[in-house]
Structure 1
Amino acid sequence: MTQSDRRPPAWFGIVAVVLVIWGAVGVFACVQQLRLGAEAMGPADAYYRRLYATLPFWYNPVYAVATFSGLAAALALALRSRFAGPLFAVSLVAIVIQFGWLFAATDLIAVRGAAQVVPFPVFIAAVAAFGLWLSRHARRQGWIG
């Protein structure tokens, strides 16, 4: 019996499927932003249009890396692949770069307020960190290769 032959508990499969759905929603949001720009989440006001227009050239590709690697990580976890951990790590780093730049280099927090703009990005990073932890835990338990 190899290490990855150990069957994970039922909750592991449920959590992996939830992470796949979360990743698919993230990829959809990214594709919408790439297609629609500032209007991706509905009618944008002048501030959000201006903010989106001033994003650096690398911002959207980093967003794509964050979401696509997150979905790939979740799929790898569901398939019990050893690539889940490294892919979650890539996603988490891209998330930190994306939102770190947005909060440090723009006036978003000053204009909209931290209570309005910070919680969801923190939640996104927490989900990626959880996925990274879970993939490492699963590997130690022998649930993934």
Structure 2
Amino acid sequence: MSTTQKPPIWFWIISILALIWNIIGVMAYLGRAFATEEMIATLPEEQQAEFLVEYPAWYTAAFAFAVFGGALGSLFLLFRKKWAIALFVISAIGAIVQHIYLFINVEMLDYVMPIVVIVVCIILVWFSRHCASKNWIN
């Protein structure tokens, strides 16, 4: 059994940034899931149109797995636990499924953010595996 090594300061910086990033994702999910008609009416017209789109249940589930898996993965990374790897993999799969659906079915003007989300998910999977290989997490 290998012993856990003390991680460098940049491990903590990346882990905290990952948590902040994923909390923003959770807030976006909750904002969409619990938006009332009154709240939607206060948004600009183009954003209101986004709330009128009915997504399949599996899309919403993929979105939830992406954001909650990422947030939990970030917490486990901060707790220095290997469960972070599995949670980041779940998050990445959820984000990829969610965004492939959007790429295929929704006319999107801006592809930058969806691509950034997928890239960040993949980087977090790589980072958590790297941390495990360095024995920074166990």
- TM-score, normalisation: structure 2: 0.87
- 1:94 is the counterpart of 2:94: yes
Change (3 A) 1:92 1:4: farther
CA apart distance, 1:96: 0.6
SS of alignment partner, residue 36 of structure 1: coil
User: Pick from 116, 122, 135: which aligns with 1:123?
Assistant: 116
- Equivalent residues in 2 for 1:27-46, closer than 5 Å: 27-36=26-35, 39=40, 42-45=43-46
Distance across 2 between alignment mates of 1:100 and 1:40: 28
Unaligned runs of 5+ in 2: none
**What residue is the counterpart of 1:23 in the other structure?**
22
* RMSD, aligned α-carbons: 2.2
**What residue is the counterpart of 2:105 in the other structure?**
105
- 1:85 is the counterpart of 2:85: yes
**What residue is the counterpart of 1:48 in the other structure?**
50
| The structure with more helix, counted as a fraction of residues | 1
List per-residue Cα deviations over 1:86-115 (Å, max 9, x = no partner).
110000000010010111123x13xx3xxx
Distance across 2 between alignment mates of 1:135 and 1:40: 41
CA apart distance, 1:37: 7.3
Distance across 2 between alignment mates of 1:81 and 1:15: 15
Change (3 A) 1:49 1:121: same
- 1:134 is the counterpart of 2:127: yes
- TM-score, normalisation: structure 1: 0.84
Unaligned runs of 5+ in 1: none
CA apart distance, 1:49: 4.1
Q: Which is further off, 91-100 or 57-66? A: 57-66
